[in-house]
């Protein structure tokens, strides 16, 4: 038996679309039954952005925000947990090599490139700036340690 997993359906909040909520659930179950896939009812939930709710999906946090033009839209950005996991992974790579910096850069470049390519969709610029600053500080600190000095240089 297979289970359906990792699916999100977004419908705008107009009252005329309220009938869609039931229709989508019914149709989805019908189509998945045809291919013998069961929906996990325990993990299935309906979130209403109009009431300020949000949800996490595949490393992103989805919520409703007002755009610069004053319209409401869905905003999705990397979860803090995903960012923290990356920073910890990079920290381990920096501790692994004391010198030279070239080795560290060769190790962390594919990791950062992969992470950025995954999270490049959505509204990730603030998170990317945080990661960039973190990496710059770690590289500068690494260079200073190689010279037996304290601080960031």
Buried b / exposed e across 24-33, counting CB within 10 Å, b at 16+? eeeeeeeebe
pLDDT score of 1: 56
Please answer whether residues 79 and 56 qualify as being in contact, where contact means their C-beta atoms are separated by less than 8 angstroms.
yes
* Separation in Å, CA 20 to CA 8, 9, 16, 75, 111: 14, 11, 9, 22, 41
Radius of gyration of the chain (CA): 22
Segment among 30-34, 46-50, 122-126 with least mean pLDDT? 46-50
pLDDT score of 84: 94
pLDDT score of 50: 79
Q: pTM of the prediction?
A: 0.76
The pLDDT tens digits of the residues spanning 64-90 come to 889 899 988 888 899 999 999 999 999
Q: Which one-letter DSSP state was computed for residue 77?
A: E
Q: In the structure, what pLDDT confidence band is assigned to residue 5 with cuts at 50, 70 and 90?
A: low
pLDDT score of 70: 92
The better pLDDT of the pair 74, 15 is held by 74
Buried b / exposed e across 49-68, counting CB within 10 Å, b at 16+? beeeeeeeeebbbbebeeee
The pLDDT tens digits of the residues spanning 101-148 come to 888 888 899 999 999 999 998 889 999 999 999 999 988 888 888 888
Residue 105: φ, ψ to 5°: -65, -40
pLDDT score of 13: 67
């Amino acid at each position: 038996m297979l289970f359906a997993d990792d699916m999100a359906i977004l419908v705008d909040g107009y009252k005329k679309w309220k009938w869609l909520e039931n229709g989508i659930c019914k149709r989805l179950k019908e189509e998945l039954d045809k291919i013998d896939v069961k929906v996990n009812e325990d993990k299935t939930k309906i979130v209403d952005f109009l009431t300020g709710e949000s949800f996490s999906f595949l490393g992103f946090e989805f919520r409703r925000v007002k755009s610069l033009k004053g319209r409401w839209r869905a905003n999705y950005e990397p979860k803090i947990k995903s960012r923290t996991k990356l920073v910890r992974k990079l920290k381990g790579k920096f501790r692994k090599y004391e010198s030279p910096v070239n080795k560290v850069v060769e190790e962390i470049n594919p990791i950062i490139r992969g992470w950025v390519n995954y999270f490049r969709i959505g509204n990730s610029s603030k998170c990317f700036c945080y990661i960039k600053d973190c990496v710059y500080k770690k590289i500068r600190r690494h260079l200073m340690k190689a010279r037996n000095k304290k601080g960031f240089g």
